[in-house]
Amino acid sequence: PAAHLLQDRSVMKIEGIEEVVAKLEKLADATQWRALSQSTAAAARIVARKAKSNAPVGSVAHRGYTGALIAPGYSKSTVKAVRFRRKYNSIALVGVGPNRLGYYTAQFVEGGHKDRAGGSVPAKPWLKPALDSTESQLLSAFESKMKTFVNKAIR
């Protein structure tokens, strides 16, 4: 998830967010979580678009772990942002990546792996660079969505 990856970075400041947070605290818990979730999802969609354009495309069709024939470019076509269901009132989780049949691009291509002959296949990151290159855009998308949602809810 994008928010999880941002935790290890230095603290980022969003201009004008203090008054939005003050307004947000006046809303009901369910509305607070909805605002946080929708704002986080708006930011994640930006990362998902960039990740989709960065995703590797193979040249040969192959069988997946379920036995299904997977065409080149399948995992790229399944990259998306997913909001996770509400578990705690103050946490909104969003994930960006391919679906279950396309997991190998995140698992083996992003991080590298050992091949069957015992050699090593180097990592070719594509998800992390998508997050890094869209960092300023996702923060501004989060900010604008949050401000819009809170101002609409306050009225």
pLDDT, greater one: 23 or 12: 23
Report how far residue 92's alpha carbon sits from residue 81's, in angstroms, rounded to the nearest whole number: 13
pLDDT at residue number 88 = 64
If pLDDT is split at 50, 70 and 90, which confidence band does 133 have? very high
**pLDDT of 146 higher than 80:** yes
Give the length of the chain: 155
Highest mean pLDDT of the ranges 3-12, 28-37, 71-80, 101-110: 71-80
**pLDDT of 37 higher than 70:** yes
What is the distance, to the nearest Å, from the Cα of residue 107 to the centroid of all Cα atoms in its chain? 15
Residue owning tokens 């923060």: 139
Query: Residue 28 is encoded by which pair of tokens?
Result: 């009901």
**CA-based nearest residue to 51, from 150, 115, 153, 137:** 137
Query: C-alpha distances in angstroms, 39 versus 53, 119, 121, 141, 146?
Result: 22, 43, 37, 7, 5
**pLDDT of 13 higher than 70:** no
**pLDDT of 74 higher than 90:** no
Report how far residue 22's alpha carbon sits from residue 5's, in angstroms, rounded to the nearest whole number: 26
**CA-based nearest residue to 100, from 66, 51, 73, 128:** 66
Report how far residue 32's alpha carbon sits from residue 28's, in angstroms, rounded to the nearest whole number: 6
